[in-house]
Amino acid sequence: MKILLVEDDEILTKALTKTLTTHHHIVDVVKDGEMGWTYGSTFEYDLMVLDIVLPKLDGISLCQRFRANGYATPIMLLTAQDSKTVNVQGLDAGADDYVVKPFDPVELMARIRALQRRSGSNPFPLLAWGALFLDPRTCEVTYNSQPLSLTTKEYEFLELLLRDSQYVFSSEELIDRLWSSEDFPSEATVRSHLRRIRQKLTAAGAPPDFIATLHGRGYYLKAIAAEVTTQDSFPYPKTDSVDLDQTPSETGLANRLEPVSGEDGSLDSQQQYLDFLNETWVTTQPKSLDQLAVVFQTVTDLQRDRLTSQQQAAAQQATRTLVGTLGIFGLSKITHLVRQLDYWIGGREPLQPKQAPLMQALVTALQQEVQNTTQIQRYQIPDQQRPQLLLVSSNVTFNQSLQMAATRCGIQLEVVQTLELAEWEELQTNIVLLKLPAESDQANSQQPTANSLLETLQTVTQRYPALPVLVMSDRGDLSDRLEVLRCGGRLFLTAQTPIEQVIAEIVQLLEKPNLPTRVMIVDGDRTWLSTLPTLLKPWGFKVTTLADPQQFWTVLQAVVPDVLILDVNLPEINGFELCQMLRSDPHWQRLPVLFLSELSDSASQQQAFIIGADDYLCKPVMGVVLANRILSRLHRMRDCAK
C-alpha cells in the first residue's frame, strides 16, 4: 500500500516511516500542508496520514480541500489533542479515522488495515489466487502451503496484483504504486523483480506463467482454470467466510505470530526497531531537553506573573511536540508526565501564578527522567509483533519445554515462581499462565503452595479483570475447577495437557481483539455521568459521556462506539427516540443499545425492547454488573457473526 505521510515532526516521521515500511508499505513524506496537497493531488495513494498541526495549511483544512475536490482516498488524522471537539472537526471535514498521540504502533497498524478493508473490494485480511495465499497482517506468503521467502519489494509486487487481480498493470503503473516519488527505477528494474518472483513461485510448484504478460500492456495474474484449492493447501480452517481472527490451525501458529523479518527474511525486526530507536534517541534526547527548557522558562515567568500569551503558545507547542515524540519510544512514565504538563499549559483557562509550583515540579521530574534515560531497553518499546506471556511456575522441566514452544511461536516468555501484588503491577504482560505445584512437590519444598498462589491470583484478577489467566493443575475434579473459577481463572488445563495444546490455547486468547471497547453513554445527570468512566475503568473500556442529546448524532459519528448506553429521561429528546433513530438507520441498526434508567416499571422496560433495545438495567448499578452486561452483549454479537 502506498501512503502519503504529512508530518512536520522529524522524529515522529522517522518512527512512523520505520513502522510502515516494516509492514511493507511505501511511504512518501512531506512536511507542510501545501506540499501535502501538491503530492496528494499529483500522485495516487491508498491512504493519507495527516497531522492536524502543520505549517502553511493545517491537516483539517487539507482534508477538507481533498474532499471538496472529489478525492475519495482514505484519510487518517494524527493529533496530540485528545478532545472530542478536535476529533469531531476532523471527522466532519471528511477524515475516515483519527489517532491520538502517542499511539501504540499495533493499534495504528490495526486501524490502517481496517481502513484498507473498508476501501477495498476484499473485506477479509487474507488474499488468495489459486494456491497462492498472502496474509497482510503477518506478511506470510505461501504457495501450496510452502512459505515463499520474498524481499520487501517482491512482497509488495504480489500484494498489489492480488488486491486487484482482474487488472493489467503497466510498468509505469507498477513504478508509481511500488516506489516512492523520490525513486526513479527503470522498466528493467520492474522486469528484474518480476523474474525473481516467477522463479520463486515456479520453485514452489506454480506454472511459469502464473504472473502472465500481456505484450504492450503489462502484467496480470493468469485466470485459474483447472487448478483446485484443496483443504490441505489452505493454510487456515475452511469455512463459508474466512475470519482470521478466530482459532488458527496448529501448523499456522508459528508463522502467524512470528515477527516480521527484514529484507533478507532473516533479521529480527524487533532488534532492528530497538537499534533504530536507540540511534534516534541520541539526537532526540538533547532536543527534548531544549524543549523542556523552554517550558521551564515559561513556568518561571508564570511564577513571577510575567507570562505573555506568546510564551504560553510556544510552551504549548513544545509540550504537544514532546507528547508525539517521546511516545514513540515507549517511555510510559515520561509520556504520562508530559500529558499532565500539556493538560495545564493547553487548558482553556488562563494560567495562574499559584499553579506554577506544581508545573515546575512536573518539568523538573521530566528533565530528570529524560536526562537519566541513556538507552531504550526492549521492555520499554511497544512490542509490535511479540505478545508477552507471564509464566508462574517452579517446575523447571515444564518451564524449559514451554520456553522452546513459545519461542517458536514468537511469544516472549517471562518466568517467575511467585509475585507480590506490587510486582504484578510493574509487569506489562498480555496473558498469565499459573501452574500450580503438585501436592508431592509441596511437601518437601520451600516454594509457595497452590493455595497461596490462588489467593494472589484472586487479588490480581479482581484488580485487573481484563487480564486473561490460564491455570494448570494436576487435580481436575469439580471442586478444584470451581476454586480456580472463583479466583478469576479464565481457562482450566490439566497438568497432562500437551505443550502444543497449551500454546494453542494461549494463541487463541491472544488473538482475541485487543483494542479497548468504545462505550458511549448518554445521560442527562452530569454527576452520574462523571462517575461512570471510573466505574468502568478496571475493564479497560474507552468511555465517552454525553449530557446534551442535541449533540448525539455528531458525537456518535465521531466516536463510532461498540456499545451505546442510554437513559430514558433526557432533555428535549428522550432515550427511546434516540434508539428509534438508530434502528431506522441501516448503518447503526446492529449497534448494541443498553438502557440504564431510574425507571423500573415493566411498561418502560417493555417499550425499550419493542423499539430495539438489547438490554435494560435500573439505577443504581454496580460497575461489575454493568461491565458484565456490556461484555455479554459483545460476546453474543461476535458469536452471531461467526
Using an 8 Å Cβ cutoff, are 25 and 51 in contact?
no
Partnered with residue 176 across adjacent β-strands are: none
Residue 350 has pLDDT above 60, yes or no: yes
Whether 551 shows a pLDDT value over 90: the answer reads no
Q: Are 627 and 536 in contact (CB under 8 A)?
A: yes
pLDDT at 171 exceeding the cut of 70: yes
| 431-435/388-392 β-pairing | parallel
One-letter amino acid at 36 equals: G
Whether residue 384 is predicted with pLDDT greater than 70 in this model: the reply is: no
pLDDT at 176: 74
Rounded Cα–Cα distance for residues 175 and 257 (Å): 31
pLDDT above 60 for 515: no
Q: Which residues are CB-contacts of 489 (< 8 A; sequence separation ≥ 6)?
A: 434, 457, 461, 469, 470, 471
CB contact at 8 A, 292 and 319: no
CATH, domain 127-251, list 1.10.10.10, 3.40.50.150, 1.10.150.120, 2.30.110.10:
1.10.10.10
**287 pLDDT above the threshold of 50:** yes
Give the CA radius of gyration of the chain: 27
Q: Is it the case that residue 528 has pLDDT exceeding 70? A: yes
What sections of 475-622 are H helices per DSSP?
478-486, 499-510, 526-536, 552-559, 575-583, 602-610
> CATH class for domain 388-510?
alpha beta
Residue 534 CB neighbour total at 10 angstroms: 10
Give the single-character DSSP code of 234. Answer: -
Of 78, 320, 549, nearest to 87 (Cα)?
A: 78
Q: Which three cell numbers stand for residue 404?
A: 522452546
Grid cell for residue 418: 511467585
Q: What is the average per-residue pLDDT within 13-27?
A: 83
Q: Name the more confident of 203 and 69.
A: 203
- Would you put residue 612 in left (φ > 0), alpha (ψ -120 to 50) or beta? left
Average pLDDT (214-242) is 51
- List CB contacts of 418: < 8 A, sequence separation 6 or more: 392, 447, 448, 452, 453, 456
Q: Would you say residue 594 has pLDDT above 90? A: yes
pLDDT confidence of residue 564: 94
Residue 641: φ, ψ to 5°: -80, -15
Hey, is 278 helix, strand or coil? helix
pLDDT band at 595 (very low <50, low <70, confident <90, very high): very high
SS3 content of the chain, % helix, strand, coil (to 5): 50, 15, 35
pLDDT score of 565 more than 60: yes
Q: If residue 92 lies in a helix (H) or strand (E), which one and from where to where?
A: helix 84-92
- Share the mean pLDDT of the chain: 76
Residue 568's identity, in one-letter code, is: V
Cα separation, 493 vs 470, whole angstroms: 7
State the Cα–Cα distance between residues 230 and 155, nearest whole angstrom.
24
Q: Is the pLDDT of residue 263 over 60?
A: no
How confident is the model at residue 49, as a pLDDT?
A: 92
Residue of 243, 253, 263 lying closest to 411 (CA atoms): 253
CATH number for the domain whose boundaries are 2-119: 3.40.50.2300
Nearest residue to 569 (alpha-carbon basis) of 600, 602, 609, 536: 600
Question: What is the average per-residue pLDDT within 354-376?
Answer: 81
pLDDT class of 119 with cuts at 50, 70, 90: low
Residue ranges of alpha helices (H) inside 258-306 are 269-303
CATH topology of domain 269-378: Four Helix Bundle (Hemerythrin (Met), subunit A) (1.20.120)
User: Mean per-residue pLDDT for 248-258?
Assistant: 32
For the chain, give every domain's residue range. 2-119, 127-251, 269-378, 388-510, 518-641
Is the pLDDT reported for residue 255 higher than 70? no
Beta bridge mates, 141:
134
Tens of pLDDT, residue by residue over 433-485, are: 988 887 666 555 566 777 888 887 887 777 777 678 889 988 877 888 888 88
Contacting residues for 383 by C-beta, under 8 A, at least 6 apart: 270, 412
Q: Residue 396 pLDDT > 90, yes or no?
A: no
Greatest extent of the chain over all pairs of C-alpha atoms, in Å:
83
Q: Are 495 and 438 in contact (CB under 8 A)?
A: yes
Whole-angstrom distance, CA of residue 346 vs CA of residue 494: 54
Q: Do domains 127-251 and 269-378 have the same CATH topology?
A: no
* The model's pTM: 0.42
Minimum mean pLDDT among 22-31, 38-47, 177-186: which range? 177-186
pLDDT-derived band of residue 308, with 50, 70 and 90 as boundaries? confident
Identify the band that residue 326 occupies on the pLDDT scale cut at 50, 70 and 90: confident
Where does the pLDDT of residue 632 fall: very low under 50, low under 70, confident under 90, or very high at 90 and above? confident
Among the residue ranges 125-134, 178-187, 198-207, the one predicted with the least confidence is 178-187
394: pLDDT strictly greater than 60: yes
Q: Name the band, by pLDDT with cuts 50, 70 and 90, for residue 575.
A: very high
Q: What is the structure's pLDDT at 189?
A: 82
Provide the CA 81 distance to its chain's centre, in angstroms. 18
* CB within 8 Å of 455: residues ≥ 6 apart: 487
Average pLDDT rounded to a whole number, residues 202-216: 84
- Confidence (pLDDT) at 112: 82
What is the per-residue burial (b if ≥16 Cβ within 10 Å, else e) of 308-342?
Answer: eeebbebbbbbbbbbbbbbbbbbbeebbebbbebb
What pLDDT is attached to residue 234? Answer: 37
* DSSP H or E segment with residue 565: strand 563-566
- The average pLDDT across 154-169 equals 81
pLDDT at 445: 57
Written as one string, the DSSP assignment of 321-390 is HHHHHHHTTT-HHHHHHHHHHHHHHT-SSPP-GGGHHHHHHHHHHHHHHHHH--S--GGGS--SS--EEE
Band of pLDDT at residue 87, cut at 50, 70 and 90? low
Residue 513 amino acid letter: P
**pLDDT interval class at 428 (50, 70, 90):** low
Is 3.50.50.60 the CATH number for 518-641?
no
Question: Residues, the chain, total?
Answer: 642
Q: In the predicted model, is pLDDT for residue 121 greater than 50? A: no
Q: 301-304 long-range contacts, Cβ below 8 Å, gap at least 24? A: 302/351, 302/353, 302/355, 302/356, 302/359, 303/353, 303/356, 303/357, 303/360, 304/353
Cα gap 479→475, rounded to integer Å: 9
Q: How far apart are CA 90 and CA 84, in angstroms?
A: 10
Can you tell me the mean pLDDT for 201-216? 85
